[in-house]
Structure 1
Amino acid sequence: MLNFSYYNPTRIIFGKGTLDKVGAEAAQYGKKVLFHYGSGSIKRNGVFDAVDASLKASGLTVVYLDGVVPNPRLSLVRKGIELCKKEKIDLILAVGGGSVID
């Protein structure tokens, strides 16, 4: 067995009135954000537009990764890793339900 230490800081913000604050919250962690989301309801219910506007109003550069499905395949994880490296992402913002956070 290998000895190791693992640190994975995660902050989940949930609830009424949180969409307008997401940009200010995200800006505390860097200037370039990967906005990770599903492909369905987030666009239809206005959440995508509200989050995107909040991020941009806070001066953040936004890179998008959509197409999340339940129990995502390793190929999507690898796509996200490559995108983060290529774009020099400071933070990942997962918006939606459990599949996005997975």
Structure 2
Amino acid sequence: MPQEPIEMILLKHWASYVALPIWLTDIAGNLIYYNEPAEPILGRRFDEVGEIPADRLAELFVTSNPDGTPMSSDEVPLVVALTQRVPMHRVVRIAALDGSVRLI
């Protein structure tokens, strides 16, 4: 198994000390880490789930508009950020890993 880049090791270490929920993805959109404050939002501990490939994220976290209407994949903030290479934020509704629905 190849060694993880030092930048990623340091970023994960830093995120583990931050009190805000942090979700780290690589350039391909794979979920590579989320910190403890993000665990209640996503519905599972990172230690239980581990890294998640980008193609599985849409299956695991069903994303919709705050009113519950479906959101096309090109509207999802992570997809916009990765495809257009711009910062993106908006309120979305997710069905988390524990089955609960949350606005984030």
Larger relative strand fraction: 1
What TM-score does the superposition give when structure 1 sets the normalisation length? Answer: 0.27
What TM-score does the superposition give when structure 2 sets the normalisation length? Answer: 0.26
